[in-house]
Structure 1
Amino acid sequence: MTSGSSHPMPTKSKPKSRRASGGRALLAVLLAAVLALVATACTTSTSDIGVGLPSAQTNTGAYLVDTLTVRTSTVLRDSVVTSGSGYLLVGRTTDPLLGTITAKSFCRLGMDAAFTPSGSFVYDSVSLVLPLITTPTAYRYGDTTKTQALVEVHRLIDPISATKPSFASTKLTKLNYDSTTVLNQGGKAPVRRARPNLTSLRLRLDDTFGRQLLAAGQAGRLTTQDEFDTYLPGLVLTPAATDNAALVLFSATVTDAALLVYYHDPTDATTVLSSSFSIYTGNRNFYQVRADRRTGGVMGLPTASLQTVDASRTAQQTFVEGALGLQTKVEIPYLTNLLDFGANATITSADFTVPVTASTLSPFVPTPPALLISTANAVNQPVATAVSGTTGTYVSSVSYLTSTSTLSGLDQGGYTWSVASYCQAVLNHVIPNNGLLVSSVSPALPSRAVLGSQRSTDKLQLRLYLIQVK
């Protein structure tokens, strides 16, 4: 059941004793439980009270508390690292909640050997091959029934750092590239659909670019990786200016992801010769994502790093989105009021049930991701504690599950995880009560979950059971 901030005190409901004997004693216990429920406007049925608790004993009091206030908010952590993720994300789509999302990718090309083709060889063509992540729900975000311009290719000017991480935020990583020159053949990206059975994208590039690359090799200017990096620091993949359909995820960790130059020996014109410059061998790639909410989406979401926006300002819902760095903070501000039960109060179980707002699910949005739960500090950063270890990880993965709502009878998806050890550590004054951060297990993937609050239609619930040793 829920409780507003005006009722910080927990309500304790005495369970039915398994040692109670006789109909009169049992009736007395039931009446006491019912009166307690009415007094606190509790919606929990009598049959639910005490489920899973140990037998009551003469020196033990057992209680269910489900009236603790839970505060939720959305936090922005824009330092999402996408270098080393193995993904290239490209495209543009309009999310009704997050606004217009645009993604572009940067990649370095690698050499398996010196590129020294014979001066007599004749250029034929040049292509860029981009294999897609083959699980449809994992790599497509948006309306794949629309055609879109996939993908514009540009020449990178600044090299990708080999020592520093590269971030999804355009504010944190800035690299110059030739945005005005499109290397695709004809200066335009091909128009097509990101259909589910599409396994790779093959882009024919400009012949002038290809001839210059072959000529540089024939001139002996591309014998080492350093020489090649100086000649071509990398490529940038962007959506066309008018593209607005879907985000598409490519793999950068397979050898098929490569720039291929084709040529032939004029003395043997029927034999195709080629050289490959692999994205995988280049081993430096990342992507960037930004959301524009000027023309749509939920207003009021945080825009500054570590900023917190209460759920009351975002229609009683909070957000988790990997690439954009959106996380949810969950706090139990009056948790220490449980000490009213006594200094020896021991929590036997405590679970959060957090539904995903049903209206935010869509065939055009990936399935909500698994969640990572971390202990937080006062400024919304993950922090190591006695219950989360050196990394700050409290629960390493919470899967998204669907079930049938007991209230509506409809399918309801969401998450459930235990907070018993966190709550007990707070009561024991082992850790401060700074709350928990909820983020995506795969922060480099652009998938989202919109979570309900205590005051939303899809209510967040905290059910806590404790015993009091007298």
Structure 2
Amino acid sequence: MKKIQFIPVLVCLSLLAECVNDPNTLGLSNSTFSSDYDVVVVDTVTVRVSTVLLDSFPTSNTGVLLVGGYNDAKLGRMQGEGYMQIGTGNTWTPPADAIFDSLVLIAHYSGYTYGDTTVAHNIEVRRVTQPFQVYSMPQFWINEGQYSALYTANSKFNGSAMRYSAQPIGSKKVRIRAHSSDSLMVRINDDLGREWLRLTKENSPDLIEDSRFSEYFKGICMGTDGTDESVIGIKTENIKIRLYYKTYVGEQLTQQYHDYTFTTNLFNYSRFTADRSQTSLNTLSLAADEVTSVKTDDMAFVQSGTGLVTKVTFPYLFRLLRLTDVLLVNQALLVIEPVKDSYNDQHPLPSSLTLYHTDKRNLPLQRVYANYNTNAYQSATISFDEEFDKSTGYQFVVTQLAQQLLSTDGSTDRGLLIMPDASQLNTTVNRAYFGAGGDYRIKLKIWYTKLQ
């Protein structure tokens, strides 16, 4: 009976406390009444921390292809490559005397880079040899279990593999100036260009009809040879393969061109692979896998693109009710601190993080709502301690969530996934090391009111 009567009081007073900015105040105007109570702060709640691998998430139609890779001492080698279809462009009829000149892929940088861009990229363009296809999951699994909340139908995913030609149809060694207005231009095999011009002159449906062209030339894969140390963003907008040719205008031999263009109705996505075989995360291969921070030097990891995220559980938080006379939770903060010196200008931290509910399957089941607000979601931006470099990190106000955890039995199954927002998860490859012990760590800090 005591527990049944206690919980409604705890909930009501918790709502009252939300109106108070200072967690050390009770929020009651009667000072004689409040003198019988103490506000206590605790940041030693047990937080179990691990690294998990997300199930596949969509990377198609983001407007950006991520190309390149980098080596990481803790996470191994990650590699990104971009896939896309190309269309026939505007209708054109080359003159009979047109002479082939060259075939060139033209693209523009998105402005995003991650890693050491002073190391040159050997860009390789390969011809995709299988059709682009998407698959949709049923509304429910056979056992009616939920799948990842990140899933969207008719998408290509971060791990979607496609076959392509072993030999590149074009390559170029470049030093990236991602924030410049320069274009990325890669010369494509001359034989392919001559074939396109010849078939167009012959009015071949393979070159003049969009549906036939997508069967004849299924698309391209943009990647690197794996010797680079950075990932760059390529805008899908205005990507084209330009066929240059020469023809006589009067008596003057003049260069002209036709563009085979990308349009928004065509497929495009980024694929990511990772080699963790020489790291403490070498057992991560399936979404249900989990590596505790005990095995990774008291650290857990996040890496966009490859789908590494941090999982936290609070198995003993519910015992706080049994050990103290808790009346209300004034405020609760989930503090996430990166390991000191684990980031720099070349390897910046994710700009923001969010939270998802999860269970023993380690799937992101539902995004966590903002504190007492079902019209928004939890989000925390990075805050830097420029002066002392002791409190850089992220903070989530999770008073309502802590209240719910206090009112239920502890469980090692239920927990939270800490990860970048979905819009960053598939358009960046930023990584972070989060501490699970020591001075820099993930902790749950709770201010609560109790009887003196």
Would you say same fold, with TM above 0.5? yes
Over 3 Å counting, the alpha-carbon distance change for 1:87 and 1:196 in structure 2 is: closer
Residue 111 (structure 1) shift: 3.3
Among all aligned residue pairs of Structure 1 and Structure 2, give the percentage whose two residues are the same amino acid. 24
Q: Say which SS state the counterpart of residue 178 (structure 1) adopts.
A: coil
Q: Is the 8 A contact 2:333 2:395 kept in 1?
A: yes
Match of 2:150 in 1: none
Match of 1:101 in 2: 78
Match of 2:145 in 1: none
Query: Please, which of 219, 232, 236 is the counterpart of residue 248 of structure 1?
Result: 232
C-alpha distance after superposition, 1:134-170 (max 9, x if no partner): 2xxxx22222222231x1111111121256422222x
Distance 2:247 2:310 in 1: 61
Q: Say which SS state the counterpart of residue 82 (structure 1) adopts.
A: coil
Query: Please, which of 401, 405, 414 is the counterpart of residue 426 of structure 1?
Result: 405
Query: How many residues are paired up?
Result: 399
Residue 402 (structure 1) shift: 0.3
Question: Is residue 219 of structure 1 aligned with residue 202 of structure 2?
Answer: yes
Distance 1:362 1:129 in 2: 32
Residue 112 (structure 1) shift: 3.7
What stretches of structure 2 of length at least 5 have no aligned partner?
1-21, 136-153
Query: Please, which of 444, 447, 450 is the counterpart of residue 465 of structure 1?
Result: 447
Distance 1:366 1:58 in 2: 47
Q: Is the 8 A contact 2:48 2:312 kept in 1?
A: yes
Q: Is the 8 A contact 1:398 1:415 kept in 2?
A: yes
Over 3 Å counting, the alpha-carbon distance change for 1:228 and 1:469 in structure 2 is: farther
Deviating more after overlay: 336-345 vs 409-418: 336-345
Distance 1:265 1:52 in 2: 82
Residue 123 (structure 1) shift: 1.7
Structure 1: which amino acid aligns with 2:164?
Answer: Y
Query: Please, which of 36, 58, 73 is the counterpart of residue 50 of structure 2?
Result: 73
Match of 1:4 in 2: none
Over 3 Å counting, the alpha-carbon distance change for 1:297 and 1:133 in structure 2 is: farther
Question: Is residue 437 of structure 1 aligned with residue 422 of structure 2?
Answer: no
Over 3 Å counting, the alpha-carbon distance change for 1:374 and 1:224 in structure 2 is: same
Q: Say which SS state the counterpart of residue 359 (structure 2) adopts.
A: coil
Q: Is the 8 A contact 1:374 1:394 kept in 2?
A: no
Residue 53 (structure 1) shift: 4.4
Over 3 Å counting, the alpha-carbon distance change for 1:197 and 1:325 in structure 2 is: closer
Distance 1:298 1:431 in 2: 28
Q: Is the 8 A contact 2:66 2:80 kept in 1?
A: yes
Q: Is the 8 A contact 2:314 2:410 kept in 1?
A: no
Match of 1:230 in 2: 215
Q: Is the 8 A contact 1:370 1:397 kept in 2?
A: yes
Distance 1:102 1:383 in 2: 27
Distance 1:310 1:431 in 2: 18
Q: Is the 8 A contact 2:336 2:434 kept in 1?
A: yes
Match of 2:351 in 1: 369
Match of 1:33 in 2: none
Question: Is residue 142 of structure 1 aligned with residue 115 of structure 2?
Answer: yes
Residue 232 (structure 1) shift: 0.4
Distance 2:410 2:107 in 1: 48
Distance 1:395 1:421 in 2: 13
Q: Is the 8 A contact 1:109 1:281 kept in 2?
A: no
Over 3 Å counting, the alpha-carbon distance change for 1:280 and 1:393 in structure 2 is: farther
Q: Is the 8 A contact 2:281 2:291 kept in 1?
A: no
Q: Is the 8 A contact 1:298 1:314 kept in 2?
A: yes
Higher relative contact order (CA 8 A, sep 6+): 2
Q: Say which SS state the counterpart of residue 341 (structure 2) adopts.
A: helix
Residue 264 (structure 1) shift: 3.1
Q: Say which SS state the counterpart of residue 287 (structure 2) adopts.
A: coil
Question: Is residue 201 of structure 1 aligned with residue 184 of structure 2?
Answer: yes
C-alpha root-mean-square deviation of aligned residues, in Å? 3.0
Distance 1:469 1:111 in 2: 75
Q: Is the 8 A contact 1:116 1:223 kept in 2?
A: no
Match of 1:17 in 2: none
Q: Is the 8 A contact 2:301 2:310 kept in 1?
A: yes
Over 3 Å counting, the alpha-carbon distance change for 1:301 and 1:419 in structure 2 is: farther
Over 3 Å counting, the alpha-carbon distance change for 1:431 and 1:250 in structure 2 is: farther
Question: Is residue 416 of structure 1 aligned with residue 399 of structure 2?
Answer: no
Match of 1:345 in 2: 327
Q: Is the 8 A contact 2:276 2:282 kept in 1?
A: no
Over 3 Å counting, the alpha-carbon distance change for 1:215 and 1:162 in structure 2 is: farther
Structure 2: which amino acid aligns with 1:142?
Answer: G
Match of 1:63 in 2: 40
Over 3 Å counting, the alpha-carbon distance change for 1:259 and 1:385 in structure 2 is: closer
Residue 85 (structure 1) shift: 1.8
Structure 1: which amino acid aligns with 2:43?
Answer: D
Match of 2:68 in 1: 91
Match of 2:132 in 1: 160
Alignment of 1:24-39 (within 5 A): none
Residue 410 (structure 1) shift: 3.2
C-alpha distance after superposition, 1:18-55 (max 9, x if no partner): xxxxxxxxxxxxxxxxxxxxxxxxxxxxxxx9735446
Q: Is the 8 A contact 1:300 1:313 kept in 2?
A: no
Q: Is the 8 A contact 1:75 1:329 kept in 2?
A: yes
What stretches of structure 1 of length at least 5 have no aligned partner?
1-48
Deviating more after overlay: 380-389 vs 82-91: 380-389
Residue 236 (structure 1) shift: 1.2
Q: Is the 8 A contact 2:245 2:257 kept in 1?
A: yes
Match of 2:144 in 1: none
Match of 2:151 in 1: none
Query: Please, which of 252, 259, 262 is the counterpart of residue 276 of structure 1?
Result: 259
Distance 2:70 2:127 in 1: 24
Alignment of 1:7-46 (within 5 A): none
Structure 2: which amino acid aligns with 1:177?
Answer: Y
Distance 1:301 1:365 in 2: 25
Match of 2:339 in 1: 357
Distance 1:334 1:127 in 2: 61
Q: Is the 8 A contact 2:25 2:39 kept in 1?
A: no
Residue 404 (structure 1) shift: 5.3
Q: Is the 8 A contact 1:341 1:468 kept in 2?
A: no
Distance 2:208 2:375 in 1: 46
